[in-house]
Chain A
Amino acid sequence: MIGPSDRAVWRCGAGSALLALLLVSVLQSIPARLSAQDPVEQGVRLGITYTPGMRPGMLVLGGPQRERLDSVRTIIQRDLEFSDRFEMIYLPGGDSLILGVGPAPDSVVNPGTADVFVNYSLYEALGADYAVSVLEEYDSTLSVNLYDVAGEAVRTSARIDPLGVSSLDFRMAAHRAADAIVRAATGEPGYAASQVLFVSRGRLYSVDSDGANTRLVSPPEADTFSPAWSPDSRSFAHTELSEDGWGTIVVQDRVTGRRRTVTPTTEYLNLSPDFSPDGGTLVFSRGWDEGTQLFSYNLAQDCCLQRLTVGRLSDNLSPAFSPDGRRIAFESNRVGLAQIYIMSADGTDQELFAPYDYGVTGDSHSPAWSPDGLNLAFHRTVAGSPQIFVMGVRGRSVRQLTSAGRNEDPTWAPDGRHLAYKSNRTGAEQIWVIDIETGRVRQLTRLGQTRMPSWSPSITESNQP
Chain B
Amino acid sequence: MRLTLPLTIGATVVLFAAAACGGGQPEVAPAPDPDSIAREQARRDSIAAAQARADSIRRAQEEADRLARQRTADSLAAVRRENEAVMEMISRRLHFDFDRSVIRPGQDTEVLEQKLAILQANAGLRLEITGHCDERGTDEYNMALGMRRAVSAKQFLVDRGIDEARITVRSRGEEQPLDSGHNEEAWQLNRRDEFRVTAGGGSLKRPGM
Contacts and interface: CB of A to CB of B under 8 A. Distances in A.
Contact of A338 (B130, B141, B170, B175): B141
Contact-size category for A: 20 to 34
Interface string A298-334: 0000000000000001010110000000000001000
B139 A315 contact: no
Contacts, number: 74
A41 B48 CA distance: 119
Given A287-B147, A315-B145, A271 B170 contact: no
Interface in B138-160: 138-141, 143-145, 147-148, 151-152, 154
Contacts of B172: 245
B32 to A, nearest CB: 87
A136 B143 CA distance: 53
B144 A317 contact: yes
A309 to B, nearest CB: 12
A245 B150 CA distance: 12
Given A287-B147, A289-B151, A315-B148, A331 B141 contact: yes
A430 to B, nearest CB: 15
B62 interface: no
Contact of B147 (A244, A272, A288): A288
B201 to A, nearest CB: 17
Given A289-B164, A291-B147, A315-B148, A366 B140 contact: yes
Given A245-B170, A245-B172, A313-B152, A269 B164 contact: no
A292 B143 contact: yes
A288 B164 CA distance: 13
A379 interface: yes
Contacts of B190: none
B183 to A, nearest CB: 14
Contacts of A240: none
A247 B144 CA distance: 12
A317 B141 contact: yes
Interface in A267-303: 269, 271-272, 285, 287-292
Contacts of A313: 101, 148, 151-152
Interface string B172-187: 1001000000000000
Given A245-B171, A245-B172, A269-B170, A287 B144 contact: yes
A47 B129 CA distance: 65
B144 A379 contact: no
A172 B148 CA distance: 44
Contacts of B164: 289
Nearest to A386: B138
B139 A451 contact: yes
B139 A289 contact: no
Nearest to A290: B151
Interface string A185-208: 000000000000000000000000
Contacts of B151: 289-291, 313
A315 B137 CA distance: 14
A285 B140 CA distance: 10
B159 to A, nearest CB: 13
A321 B66 CA distance: 74
Interface of B is mostly: helix
Given A245-B171, A289-B164, A409-B138, A271 B143 contact: yes
B169 interface: yes
B144 A291 contact: yes
Contacts of A379: 138
A269 B143 contact: yes
A225 B139 CA distance: 9
Most chain A CB within a 10 A radius of its CB, from B141, B148, B152, B171: B141
The winner among B143, B145, B164, B171 for most chain A CB atoms within 10 A is B143
Which of A241, A271, A287, A408 counts the most B-chain CB atoms under 10 A from its CB? A287
A226 interface: yes
A44 B153 CA distance: 65
- Could you say which of A291, A315, A331 has the most chain B C-beta atoms within 10 Å of its C-beta? A315
Contact of A269 (B101, B138, B147): B147
Contacts of A418: none
B170 A292 contact: no
A287 B143 contact: yes
**Which of B140, B141, B148 has the most chain A CB atoms inside 10 A of its CB?**
B140
A340 interface: no
A438 B143 CA distance: 34
Contacts of B139: 225-226, 409, 451-452
A370 B140 CA distance: 20
Contacts of A272: 140
Contact of B138 (A246, A290, A408): A408
Nearest to A452: B139
B110 to A, nearest CB: 23
A334 to B, nearest CB: 12
Interface in B99-139: 99, 101, 128, 130, 138-139
Contacts of B101: 313
Contacts of A244: 170
A285 B164 CA distance: 23
Contact of B171 (A226, A269, A386): A269
A244 B168 CA distance: 11
A246 B172 CA distance: 9
Nearest to B151: A289
A315 B133 CA distance: 15
Given A287-B144, A366-B138, 5 more contacts: A225-B140, A269-B143, A313-B151, A313-B152, A365-B141
15 contacts: A245-B171, A269-B171, A271-B143, A272-B140, A285-B140, A287-B143, A288-B147, A290-B151, A291-B151, A315-B145, A317-B141, A318-B140, A365-B141, A409-B139, A452-B140
Interface of B: 99, 101, 128, 130, 138-141, 143-145, 147-148, 151-152, 154, 164, 169-172, 175
Closest 4 CB pairs of A and B: A245-B170, A292-B144, A315-B144, A287-B147
